[in-house]
Structure 1
Amino acid sequence: MRILALAWEFPPRIIGGISRHVAELYPEVVKRGHEVHLITVAVENEPLETIADGIYVHRIDVEKNHDFFQWVVQMNINMSKFARDFLAQNPIDLVHAHDWLVEETAIAITTELQIPLVATIHATEYGRCNGIHNDTQRYIHQKEIKLTQSAQRVIVCSEYMRGELQRALDCPASKTDVVYNGLSVERWKNITDAHQIPFDRLALREQYAKPEEAIIYYVGRITFEKGIYVLLNAMPKVIAAMGDRVRLVIIGTGDAYSILLQRQAWDLGIYHKVLFTGFMADADLWKFQTIASCAVFPSLYEPFGIVALESFAAKIPLVVSNTGGLPEVVRHGFTGIVTLVNDANSLADGIIRVLSDREYGQSLVNNAQTDLKERFAWDRLAAQTESVFLKVLKT
């Protein structure tokens, strides 16, 4: 197959989860004998035309615009023009579009040239916002509906998301295929290598906690939907149960909301037990994980939860909430602990269980390593994606 992929982000441009998903999926698709051409947005100091891990990458310039939605419109105009010129000389078998941002290009090209369309929906506006409440959200919501209606098949990252597309976008379950996200061999190797390379772990640990303190951490975007406020509410119970020998480290960016969370920690009387690091580069995060005791992801909404897989690879016991795709990724009592969403008491109990029973925590880690190989390897997920493409071409 010759596949034309559309995505608004691709490394080194990383804004959300789409970038890594695209960068890790398509090399495995290429290994299966297919040709992938990706149209994406230009990045400073990166060539407009290149081959990355077997993917033919075509970057298009989009002029900066303070109005994000106007910028998206211009991106689609430029993408569509490039795609038409490219396809005039290079016939392809199908288009694979990632999320609403490329909806206009995807629909225009596939309609004009009568080419099949497969869409991957990574998250919905309805899910992120717990409903559609204003004109901006309605605009995105309608784009998502149009994209899923126009596509012959729709790929989602969890069974939960299959249900959400039914509820929110009226997209039939029979039209939707579930293909989990994965963790690339390279990223897994980078994480595990950080555990094996000698460095002064004691000195690193002193930057974050006292010698007697267990380190709990959250990493990700600092937004309301990630449920960090629930984790803060859980901490007084955790601190009391662990005899004050615990420290919480919150890693990520989100300046305005981060200030509110710091105020919450102050009001709870635990400010001295919480460290907000801001942005942390991958290489530093991988080192940090070698000194951590427990990872916690208390999301209110989470289509999948790639951070859970990264914690699996880092061999960190994991506590998550039972929202979205997280209970599919983390198997309760086997690869991690799944707690009640938006329930600080339940979350605290899960954290205490992991911190107070090291043997149990280690068993979760061991099982998670097996799951990474058997359920979340990109070569298997690429084979599943390939089967969706073939299904479209046969209809």
Structure 2
Amino acid sequence: MHLLIITREWPGYVLGGISHHICNLYNEVVDKGHEITVITGTCPQSSHELTGKKPPANEVHTVQFGYRKGYYVLFPIALRNYLQSFDFDPFDACITHTGVPFELPLPTVSKRHDCYEATKEYIRNGLSFLETIGDRLMGPFRTIVDRRSIAAADCLIYNSAVCRAGWESAYNITTPSIVSHNGIDTSVFYPDSGYNKEDYILFVGGSERKGLSHVISFARQTKEDVIIVGPDEVNSPHVDALGRLSSDELRQVYTNAAVTIHPAGWEAFGNVILESVACGTPVVATKNCGAVEVLPSSACVVTSEIERGVMKAKNLNSEDCIKAASKQTWDKPAQDMIDIVRSITNPEC
């Protein structure tokens, strides 16, 4: 099959974590013998991360959409103008990773990585007063894009049951859907050779949605050493902030940690959880993290009580963690996508 991929970001034009997902997913799809052509957004805030890992594509078309904030409106507007002269004939189907609020002349699968309605309360906690007002004013436009993009798709793919529940609680959705969990690249995340477990607790993230205030509160009350990866500085004397790390550095920090904590208020998936487990380190996470759906109790403690969860997680076995992660390769989400495309292009098969 020849698939048309539409996304606000692509390796080489990176805005956030979706590019990591796309990089792994479409390398697997191409390895299964399929072709891809890409239409990606780009704006001044795009970076050139992952340029060495981008999947092989027949072509990559870029659409300038002006600014990162408001992409959910700006990108579809720019995209619609671009598509007026685009030739859809070579393609079997389209996969969108950004809401496209109009019908395309192809069978269309829309992949949902997050749910704004489920996360907006956490997002607004990190905004200034003026930014919060702007976000509230743009809310109705975002709702229009969400509703129309759902209606325009032939099938939806959610990356967890948590993600699907978030969307279905916000909208009356009748579009067929499946849940296909993210994978983990075990060639990047694995136990560092010669590693030595140290007695520190790890948190990877810097936002309230991921549970930063809960981590800082835990650090104030515990005697454990707490390390945070992401922010360069945290306003607390009880934690050590390492800033952003490379994949190699992050793998070592995961490997050496006693436990990784992820007390997210809401997280559609939470790649951090699989990354840690793949490095042999158990995780404490809330039930509102999609990744806990694929992990056994021998690798992950699901609770909102961090201190109790850490005590329990310290008794879990690293080998069980590694084994659990090894079952979550990118092969399954790639095959899920191919199967869904085949079902909507050849419904009688």
* TM-score of the superposed pair, with normalisation by structure 2: 0.84
Q: State which of 301, 310, 319 in structure 2 corresponds to 1:351.
A: 310
Distance 1:52 1:130, change over 3 A: closer
Match of 1:381? 333
Distance 1:120 1:233, change over 3 A: same
Q: State which of 221, 224, 242 in structure 2 corresponds to 1:277.
A: 242
Inter-partner Cα distance in structure 1 for 2:53 and 2:69: 29
Any residues of structure 2 matched to 1:215-254 within 5 Å, and which? 215-220=200-205, 222-239=206-223, 246-253=224-231
Match of 2:187? 189
Distance 1:63 1:158, change over 3 A: closer
Inter-partner Cα distance in structure 1 for 2:316 and 2:30: 38
Inter-partner Cα distance in structure 2 for 1:150 and 1:63: 21
Deviation at 1:14, TM superposition (A): 3.4
Inter-partner Cα distance in structure 1 for 2:181 and 2:325: 11
Question: Is the CA contact 1:182–1:377 (under 8 Å) kept in the aligned structure 2?
Answer: yes
Q: Deviations over 1:344-388 (max 9, x none)?
A: xx2111112334xxxx322xx3223222232x2111221111111
Deviation at 1:163, TM superposition (A): 2.0
Does residue 292 in structure 1 map to residue 244 in structure 2? Answer: no
Any residues of structure 2 matched to 1:62-73 within 5 Å, and which? 62=64, 64-65=66-67, 68-69=69-70
Inter-partner Cα distance in structure 2 for 1:51 and 1:354: 34
Inter-partner Cα distance in structure 1 for 2:35 and 2:12: 22
Match of 1:370? 323
Inter-partner Cα distance in structure 1 for 2:39 and 2:59: 6
Q: State which of 347, 361, 367 in structure 1 corresponds to 2:316.
A: 361
Q: Deviations over 1:38-62 (max 9, x none)?
A: 111356779x9x9943333414152
Inter-partner Cα distance in structure 1 for 2:214 and 2:27: 38
> What SS is found at the alignment partner of 1:68?
coil
Counterpart amino acid of residue 177 in structure 1: I
Match of 1:209? none
Match of 1:21? 21
Deviation at 1:141, TM superposition (A): 2.5
How many residues align? The count is 332
Match of 1:175? 176
Deviation at 1:311, TM superposition (A): 0.6
Inter-partner Cα distance in structure 2 for 1:181 and 1:60: 26
* TM-score of the superposed pair, with normalisation by structure 1: 0.75
Q: State which of 340, 343, 346 in structure 2 corresponds to 1:391.
A: 343
Counterpart amino acid of residue 336 in structure 1: C
C-alpha RMSD of matched pairs (Å): 3.1
Counterpart amino acid of residue 380 in structure 1: K
Inter-partner Cα distance in structure 2 for 1:143 and 1:79: 13
Deviation at 1:74, TM superposition (A): 5.4
Inter-partner Cα distance in structure 2 for 1:51 and 1:238: 40
Question: Is the CA contact 1:125–1:141 (under 8 Å) kept in the aligned structure 2?
Answer: no
- Structure that is richer in helix per residue: 1
Deviation at 1:142, TM superposition (A): 2.3
Match of 2:298? 334
Q: Deviations over 1:61-109 (max 9, x none)?
A: 52754x833x665544554455454426x52121111133xx14xx25x
Match of 2:271? 306
Q: Which has the larger radius of gyration?
A: 1
> What SS is found at the alignment partner of 1:4?
strand
Counterpart amino acid of residue 373 in structure 1: S
Q: Percent identity?
A: 21
Q: Deviations over 1:137-171 (max 9, x none)?
A: 33223211211111110110111222222211211
Counterpart amino acid of residue 179 in structure 2: V
Which structure 2 residue ranges, 5 or more long, are not aligned? 125-134
Deviation at 1:324, TM superposition (A): 3.9
Q: Deviations over 1:194-214 (max 9, x none)?
A: 712x7xx89xx9xxxxxxx72
Match of 1:242? none
> What SS is found at the alignment partner of 2:269?
coil
Counterpart amino acid of residue 158 in structure 2: V
Distance 1:12 1:309, change over 3 A: farther
Deviation at 1:393, TM superposition (A): 1.2
Which structure 1 residue ranges, 5 or more long, are not aligned? 206-212, 240-245, 266-270, 341-345
